[in-house]
Amino acid sequence: MLAALAIPVIAGFAVSDQPLDQTTAAAGLNGGAAFGIPFLAVFMAIIGIFATGHEYRHGTIQPTLTALPQRSRLILAKILVVSGVTVAVTLLSLALNALTLLIFWGDVPGLFEDPLRSALIGYVVYTLIYTLTGLGLGLLFRGVPSALVVIFLAPLIIENLIFGLSFLPAADWLVPVVRFLPFSSGARLMAVDLTAMSAPGMPDFDYFGRWGSGAVFAVFAAVIVAAAWTLFKKRDA
């Protein structure tokens, strides 16, 4: 939350003498998640990984299952608790960031109007899906290190590599793949201007809309959680 709060504070000191447009407001409210590292989403995903992976890392999964042998109930409880905490922390972070913008600018124009309103709702959904992805990975790999590698490697390196290669004529077959990249698609949930990735000379990625792109990310997370859940019920502790 402090890492996300640093973005509107820095922006306030740097450009508070300029009018606050919706794009700048969105970047301040979500802590720069749309154009940089989504601090809150990443940290909450780590919490999700800890919620399941730490059980194996510290050997507490056996006493946990002894106390609660119904495995599906255990996983559902973890999902509900982590989801509740994620939504609460994200809303609190948004409130703190909004307060910071109000202190520096005195107003946040269009806060309850589209497209900023939809972008902020999308930010909450994005953070929640990101967190559940981490929870699923922690359970799937039955540990913390591998899940952490995937949660950082996939969005920061693999997807950026595919996106960059798609600009090459020899790799233009990757263009239709870009809109199905889960983390990149998820980032469109919190975008104010959904046409920002379209410009002369760029490939036509034919992106889905805000909620269609979010659905791509949600399906990716659901597949991971479902696979982890199924294996958890079949494998030994």
pLDDT score, position 206: 87
Regarding pTM above 0.85, the answer is yes
**pLDDT confidence of 71, banded at 50, 70, 90?**
very high
Q: How far apart are CA 75 and CA 16, in angstroms?
A: 46
Q: Are 108 and 100 in contact (CB under 8 A)?
A: no
Output the CA angle 16-17-18, nearest 5 degrees.
90
pLDDT in tens, 76-108: 999 999 999 999 999 999 999 999 999 999 988
Residue-level pLDDT at 139 = 95
Distance CA 84, CA 95 (A): 17
Q: Is 107 helix (H, G, I), strand (E, B) or coil?
A: coil
Q: Which residue in the block uniquely carries the two structure tokens 């990249």?
A: 181
Q: Which two tokens stand for residue 153?
A: 């490697």
Give the separation between CA 194 and CA 47, rounded to whole angstroms.
Answer: 30
